[in-house]
A and B are shown apart, each in its own frame.
Chain A
Amino acid sequence: MSEPRGGGCAGLLTGHLLPVLVAALFLLPLLWMITTSLREAGLPPPRTIEWLPESPSGDNYAAVFELLPFGRYLFNSLAVVTLAVPLTIITASMAGFAMALLERRSRVALVVLSVALLMVPITALWLTRFLLFSWIGLTDSLLALAVPSLAGSSPLFVLLFYWTFRRVSPDIFEMAHLDGAGAISVWRRIALPNALPTTIAVAVLTFILYWSDFISPLLYLRDQGLYTLPLGLRQLQQLDPTDWPLLMAGAVMLTLPAVLFFLVVQHLFLGERGFSGRRR
């Protein structure tokens, strides 16, 4: 495209100056959350914008664990994620693989179905989903939170695997098939190992999805011993809605794992190749 080739005032403006400002703007919420969480407990709220507290302290982080069983919540969150991420990888990649190799008519129908499913408002389902879960005795259990992973967690993940496997030449799969391998063993031995970038990206997206999930535990869990971190943070807010440093410390603990995992794999989404299952 006719982008300026560097140089010139306009080039500098859209090349670096504006991007730096935009990046700073988008980092602002994260930054304010962290600096506020480091503010000494018991001080009156700041009357100016505080970029870093005078004497940063980690006391608020310890206080969160004293007020609520955050260790327990952390364990529950990890249990859900440990169950949901591998299951999602298996179900989503199997479905994506199968879709990519079906004949044209079924393939197109399934892609259209998946895109349509992306448009279904989940809030239009949660009530009856809750009733279903309570009828089969699945409420008040961590399993209820991980159930969507049995169906690939999100049609988006299935589609990501589908697009990845579509880029691989079908000849490779066909050759393995002619050697006598069944569909499942071709998926396990050839397709999946060659889709490592997509697998990692979907794993991280799945982690973030379940780690952040607030609505499912809110709907399905009554027993406080089963609470996950997002519900714990909500509880913290109900205990003291005005202790901002404490609340932000809780928010940081919930946020950092998601942000860090994202940063580790961001090049898979945002790099020059974009989402790519291409083999090097």
Chain B
Amino acid sequence: MRRFSLSWQAGLWAMLLPYLVGTLLLVGLPALMSAILAFTTYDALTPPVFVGFANFRLLAADPIVTTAIGNSLVFILLAVPLRILGALGLALLLLRPRRGVSGYRAAAYVPTVIPDVAFALIWLWIFNPLFGPVNVALGALGLPQPGWLADAETARYPFVVMSVFQIGEGFVVLLAALRGLPREYFDAGAVDGAGRWGSFRYLTLPLLLPWLALLTFRDIILTFQWTFTPSFVMTGGDPYYATMFLPLLTYEEAFDRFRFGAGSALMLITFLLSAAIIGGIYLLFRRRGYTADV
């Protein structure tokens, strides 16, 4: 912008100020604080006391913490691939303009805008072992009726199912990405005799990979923290900690037991764990020759 003056530049930076300063105060500062508090004991009444790695040692020895970490990881492993595949499937199915398609698209997005508490209550009803529609339908078909949320063996599956209903964001992103694919490639592919599967496998998928990678990164974080409201409202972490996830444990540690130091340590673990997973997947994509640059 060579013809723009200095005062214009200053004006632009001034307009960025609320965003940048606000982010610094609401994200940067709390992150820094939790990195410090994680090495203290703090009950919000008396000043924090430095304790070194004691919080981490105590957490590592606590079987509930390991259970919560395991549950969170298993949940991500089950939910994220299903969510990404679901979003991709929806986008491919509902891409082509035709009569009624806007209605189908809207319907697929609707669960995503249902407020979390309401969504959790609906699914608590749907998976009610006695009267919920799922078990009533299974019973009518003569199939076994699992205890779902009441049974430690099956408790995580309702969470996975309901998370796969809220994939509107990924669906919209992939819809836009598919529309943005250069048509010429596909025309050339058709000339070369690529069938539907061939053009999907060798053109659509590789071109979409950066988007899928970005979505996967974001979805891991999103899914990780998404578990809070359902586990808080539907199960409280029961039965036998089968639905105890890291966000719920952090909440209980801090707001039920007022152990802000241990809570901060858990947040730090959450943070590092997410970073490690994302880093790992990034390397995986990287090795295949793609980067997530946008």
Interface residues of A (CB under 8 A from B): 1-3, 6, 14-16, 18-20, 22-24, 26-27, 29-30, 32-33, 36, 45-49, 91-92, 94-95, 97-99, 101-103, 110-111, 115, 117-132, 134, 147-148, 150-152, 155, 158, 170, 174, 177-178, 182-184, 187, 208, 211-212, 214-215, 219, 230, 233-234, 237, 244, 247-248, 250-252, 254-255, 258-259, 262-263, 266-267, 269-272, 274-275
In the complex, the 10 A-B pairs of residues with the closest C-beta atoms, listed nearest first: A151-B22, A183-B11, A212-B115, A23-B107, A95-B19, A251-B118, A45-B131, A128-B30, A128-B33, A94-B15
A124 touches B267 (CB 8 A): yes
Q: Are A48 and B140 in contact (CB under 8 A)?
A: yes
**Is A19's CB under 8 angstroms from B118's CB?**
no
Interface centre among A147, A244, A248 (most CB of B within 10 A): A244
In the complex formed, the residue of A with least CB distance to B118 is A251
Known: A124-B267, A258-B113. 6 other contacts (CB 8 A): A29-B123, A94-B15, A98-B16, A158-B19, A182-B7, A234-B117
Judging by beta carbons under 8 Å apart, are A45 and B130 in contact?
yes
**What are 25 A-B pairs with beta-carbon distances under 8 A?**
A1-B204, A2-B189, A3-B196, A22-B90, A49-B137, A94-B18, A95-B16, A98-B13, A98-B16, A115-B294, A119-B217, A121-B270, A122-B225, A124-B267, A132-B25, A147-B26, A151-B23, A177-B3, A187-B15, A208-B115, A259-B110, A266-B109, A267-B102, A269-B172, A271-B102
The CA of A187 and the CA of B221, in the complex, are separated in Å by 33
In the complex formed, the residue of B with least CB distance to A95 is B19
**Dominant secondary structure of chain B at its interface with chain A:** helix
B76 CB to nearest A CB, Å: 12
Among candidates B27, B30, B172, B294, residue contacting A111 with C-beta atoms closer than 8 Å? B294
Using known A-B contacts A22-B108, A29-B111, A47-B136, determine if residue A94 contacts B26 with beta carbons closer than 8 Å: no
Are B110 and A262 touching (Cβ within 8 A)? yes
- B170 beta carbon closer than 8 Å to chain A: no
Interface hub of A3, A103, A126 (most chain B Cβ within 10 A): A126
Q: B237-253 toward A: CB 8 Å interface, digit per residue (1/0)?
A: 00000000011001100
Which residues of B sit under 8 angstroms from A26, Cβ to Cβ?
107-111, 165
Grouping DSSP codes into helix (H, G, I), strand (E, B) and loop, the A interface class, with mixed when no group exceeds half, is: helix
> Are A174 and B31 in contact (CB-based, < 8 A)?
no
Q: A125-B267, A219-B255 are contacts. A258–B274 as well, Cβ < 8 Å?
A: no
Interfacial chain A residues near B285, Cβ < 8 Å = none
B287 interface hit (Cβ, 8 Å):
no
Residues from 103 to 131 in B contacting A, C-beta threshold 8 Å: 103-111, 113-119, 121-123, 125-126, 128, 130-131
Smallest CB separation, A170 vs chain B (Å): 7
Among the 9-residue stretches B55-63, B77-85, B91-99, B146-154, the one with 4 or more Cβ atoms under 8 Å from chain A is: B91-99
